[in-house]
Structure 1
Amino acid sequence: MLWGPVLRENGVTFRLWAPSSEAVSLEVEGMEPIPMQAVGEGWYAADAPAKPGARYRFRVSADLLVPDPAARAQAEDVHGASVLIDQGSYQWRNTEWRGRPWHETVLYELHVGACGGYAGVRALLPRLRDLGITAVELMPLAAFPGGRNWGYDGVQPFTPDPSYGTPDELKALVDEAHGLGLSIFLDCVFNHFGPDGAYLHAYAKPFFDEGIHTPWGAAIDFKKPPVRAYFEECALMWLRDYRIDGLRLDAVHAIADQSWLDVLARRIRSEITGREVHLVLENEGNTASKLTPGLYDAQWNDDGHNTLHPLLTGEREGYYEDFADNGAKKLARVLGEGFLFQGEEMPHLHRPRGEPSAHLPPTAFVLFLQNHDQVGNRAMGERLNALADPAALRAATALLLLCPQIPMLFMGEEWGATVPFLFFTGFRDPELAKAVREGRRKEFAHFAAFQDEAARELIPDPNDPATFERSRPDFAEAGRPPHDAILAHHKALLAIRRAEIIPRLQGAMAQGAEAVGEAAVLARWRMGDGAVLTIATNLGAGPAQVMAQGARILFESASGAAASLAAGTLPPHTTIALLDPTTR
């Protein structure tokens, strides 16, 4: 291990890669500063008789004292002291847990802060298990400036933010989940650092490639061995020390050296053995070749969401413009082949996007109707239930949860939460807070609803504490009408998935899909046991003409809908799932 402190019998070895500093010293609270020795290639090291609980920082120049970029804990904010902890001190209870196979996965994405920290999430676990969730995906935990953040402004990827609880409380959350049969996934941001507190820019300039510019400034230079080691060791830490079951890698298309992604996956696969560990990408590039055994299990299917959203809402502004026309035909390709864009030019990007994906199993794609981006990146953070016809959304939910692609729900979706999920930050620098507020409002200036300045002023200020408070779901709402009926709908669908779909998923492959109306699709999959699953879905307000039959009706979103389908008509706002028996 190159990055972070290493506890030894008689003290601790501290290391820092600071190739832009002429000298570095270690300052441990209660001790005299210790000069660190240059040990080659920009590395500095020092031993100190420190113990867990000690606070420390590095002086990288006469006027700059910085935290450890690979600290395992922070005392308070990212600008303060790092804290030495013993990762082996937690006493795990569920030591026999080996994880769950990927095909069993039903994901539930949540924001830890909005759910009350680690303790709040831990309290939610039984209800998520009872709903039919098998894996809880935590939005990024990496330490960030201020007391609230989405998590995508993190600057210390090894450090769980202290505002959510202690490292041991995070371990207790994971431990509790395993005891309930739930996996825990973590969203990791390895493509950029946030705008405040990324001190690596000051003392490790080669960490970045000034020749490659990204929305966050100079790109991280993954050609450098210390940089690669930094993120590889970070990923391994979450999997080993916290026993996380899977990682979702954010926006990997922003990583210039795509070959490193293969290196990372292979290292994880070789070093984390004896249990199920899953790796998922968010990748605008639709690089199907990475979704192979030994690399990545799946990719978030943004094409699926971006096709379904206009069908449900009629929206076509922004990137939805590329998905709004011929929506049923596009949905058929998503269900039958995975990606919509498989090398074709995407007008919104003005360049080709994607690789052929029809050869991949449906489990290589994570499908969703909502997630943190697609809700929170809206100006007003509206959830889909505030935008779509309830009957159409009910039908789309059935498609999501019965389709052989891996389904994901976003916190509160299962009962139709009424609160928005807004973009929020907690920056303490007033100039940065102002820039974020103004940038956020400028971002929506080209949308019809925000053409004039008065309308843009209504967009919530991300740095206002009230913006965060408005984004916290009220879980008690799930027990009240009409939300209890929406929750029951999700629970019933997930029970069908558990009983009928998951046992047949291994070896499943799409058998084709076709548009049968302006907003209607008929799709088939040959399941692993030879049975054929047929799903007919009509998200439109008018009937579609199509005939399909199956030996057994798994689900119909409206009573009598299957009989209508057998007679050649698919009613509006309807999803029907049929299963033919094993044929081999």
Structure 2
Amino acid sequence: MTAAFARNLTFGAQFAPEATRFRFWAPAQNGVKLEVRGEPPTEMIRSEDGWFEETRNVPAGARYRFVLDDGLAVPDPASRLQDGDVHGWSVVVDPNAYAWETPDWRGRPWAQAVIYELHAGCFGGFDGVAEALPRLKALGITAVQLMPIADFPGVRNWGYDGVLPYAPDAAYGAPDQLKRLVDKAHALGLMMFLDVVYNHFGPDGNYIPAANPVFFRDDLQTPWGGAIDFRLPEVRRYFTENTLFWLMEYRFDGLRLDAVHAISEQDWIDEMAEAVRATVEPGRHVHLVLENEHNQQSHLAGEVDAQWNDDFHHVVHAALTGEREGYYADYAEDVGAKLARALSEGFVYQGEPSPHLDGRRRGTPSGHLPPTAFISFLQNHDQIGNRAFGDRLNALAAPEAVEAATAALLLIPQIPMLFMGEETASETPFLFFTDHEPDLAEAVRKGRRKEFAKFAAFAGAEIPDPNAVETFERSIPKPHPERAEARAALIARLLALRAAEIAPRIPGAVSEGAEAVGPAAAVARWRLGDGARLTLALNLVNEPASLAPVAGPILFETAPGAADALRAGTLPGRTTIALLERA
């Protein structure tokens, strides 16, 4: 059985065999022309609220663009595909051309999620990701998350300079290749997630201000320029429709929304989530995930499934590496207590003053939330790519310590996420890379080097050139020559345990608290949904910790005899022990 899926948009080029409707919002323009390549431009009909519309009989594959009052020709902001990159022609796409092999796929429950974040370009595009899916399934991954694929300038970009949110970048493949990737994942029983960016547009190829300056605010700035004006219903609809487009037309199983703390109208997040729940077919599992540096938990009480928990990463990273600069200053003291709080309550900062933020308070209470409200990780694109040299944790910390942290990550009831290469102990960097035109490339190069000049660790060091091809090539993960096989075997073993013993019991799980038992050691406990009790003891440093004896049936220990030591009142260094008392 095959089927086709299409999301009818209220803007852009909506293809139909008999007539394609073109619709473009540009209230600042008195007139807009539709130009189909090979034909003379024609005036579009303008409504009072600034919508321009025309219906034209054109075939799928036709190239088109909009011509503004001043003669500037711009791509469609809702382009489904570009010919000639972000400055080129938009392409009319027939969404029904792809015949899905898995139309009855309904996804997987959130408690089963084990996420693997990857960059499509580092895998050779959508087809390369598809080739990797059987290996990831065998490892125990249940959800593959693509870093942003929205069309960006050039042929390589780490993902966050996209300017056309509806158009998969052609450097990775055509729309049907992306659909084939999602289709293959579903055939293997894997979920596919997509990282989307709604807080800013990239610095090159964003024509929206030329056509419609009111799309952005001039009274509120973000790190990337003027804030997008989510007060306007047309702007809200543009991004809400984008979430529905990826979920309904491309059949993604979930979305990760980048840096939502930079969206000024936070109510849009809940409005969008409600629209998703009202639109997705009954019985289909679709998941919404936020990144929010402010540790705000308010959206998690509604239709949003989870939030990235940077606090878990930061406290573990600080313990494993000893780093204290930047935001790691917030985790330099009382590491054991902070680790215990991250395990038991999610956020470490729940309204306490942040030293890194000059004493300003950060976060909101989170202890009442279920463990599945938090996605935890040891590495991700941000925490590696935002470093001057893209250092991976495997290159910064002792292997035994990383393995202990990995075991804890994969056995706790929070949702775990791995970053590409983590499963093979890769030490290759993941760098910030771009493919900008020369002037912008030079500005980005200088800005990147200026950004890190204030850090003592990088004084006098040459920061890699983001625009150099070799910067991208160095970012492709390579297995560690000595530790890859053992690391993959460890992760596969841990994920098999998680699938068999923990994931089925996660629904209804609640934390029973945690306590620090050493400088970077903690014991945490959860009552699982079926009444079983999970205890996890974690020591991230080399020195053993003394504690009251802890007993119970062993689920996992990093080394033989570690559980016996725990029963005797010692938690060995660089050790994770999981105990499971079944109901």
The CA deviation string for residues 436-458 of structure 1, in whole angstroms up to 9 with x for no partner, is 11111111111112233xx2xx2
Root-mean-square deviation (Å): 1.1
Q: How does 1:537-576 map to 2 (within 5 A)?
A: 537-576=538-577
* SS of corresponding position for 1:15: strand
- Residues 1:163 and 2:171 are matched in the alignment: yes
Deviations 1:466-493 (A, max 9, x none): 100111123xx37x53210111111111
8 Å CA contact 2:346–2:371 kept in 1: the answer is yes
- Which residues of 2 match residues 167-566 of structure 1 at below 5 A? 167-274=175-282, 275-292=284-301, 294-350=302-358, 351-428=360-437, 430-452=438-460, 455=461, 458-474=462-478, 477=479, 481-566=482-567
Amino acid at match of 1:433: A
Is the Cα contact below 8 Å between 2:388 and 2:458 reproduced in 1? no
Moved over 3 A (4+): 547-551
Q: In 1, Cα distance between the equivalents of 2:30 and 2:230?
A: 24
Residue type of the partner of 1:536?
A: A
Equivalent residue letter for 1:407 = P
- In 1: Cα distance, 2:140 partner to 2:51 partner: 48
Matched residues in 2 for 1:305 and 1:449: separation? 20
Note the C-alpha offset of 1:21.
1.5
Is the CA contact (8 Å cut-off) linking 2:435 and 2:467 kept in structure 1? yes
Which residue of 112, 115, 119 maps to 1:104? Answer: 112
> What is the distance in 1 between the residues matched to 2:483 and 2:227?
48
Structure 1 residue 578 corresponds to structure 2 residue 579: yes
With the length of structure 1 as denominator, give the TM-score of the two structures.
0.97
The CA distance in 1 between the partners of 2:426 and 2:400, in whole Å, is 16
* Counterparts of 1:31 and 1:90, CA distance in 2: 28
Which amino acid is the alignment partner of residue 411 of structure 1? M
Q: Unaligned regions of 5+ residues in structure 1, if any? A: none
Contact 2:506 / 2:529 at 8 angstroms: preserved in 1? yes
Structure-1 separation of matches of 2:253 and 2:194? 8
Say if 2:341 and 2:348, in contact at 8 Å, map to a contact too: yes
- 3-state SS in 1 of match to 2:30: coil
Q: How far off its partner does 1:149 sit?
A: 0.4
Alpha-carbon distance in structure 2 between the residues aligned to 1:510 and 1:32: 66
Residue 84 (structure 1) aligns with: 92
Q: Residues 500 and 264 of structure 1: is their aligned pair in 2 closer, same or farther, counting only changes over 3 Å?
A: same
Whether the 8 Å contact between 1:2 and 1:229 is mirrored in structure 2 is no
Q: Which amino acid aligns with 1:318?
A: G
Write the deviation string for residues 486-525 of structure 1: whole angstroms up to 9, x where unpaired: 1111111111111111011000011000000001100000
Native 8 Å contact 2:227 2:263 kept in 1: yes
SS of the equivalent of 1:92 reads coil
1:95, distance to aligned residue in structure 2 (A): 1.5
1:505/1:528 contact within 8 Å kept: yes
**Which moves more between the two structures, 376-385 or 132-141?**
376-385
Question: CA deviation digits over 1:169-209, x for unaligned, max 9?
Answer: 00000000000000000000000000001100111011011
Q: CA deviation at 1:347?
A: 2.5
* Structure-2 separation of matches of 1:450 and 1:6: 51
Aligned equivalent of 1:59: 67
- Is the 1:129–1:182 contact (alpha carbons within 8 Å) kept by the matching residues of 2? yes
- 1:534–1:550 contact (8 Å) kept in structure 2: no
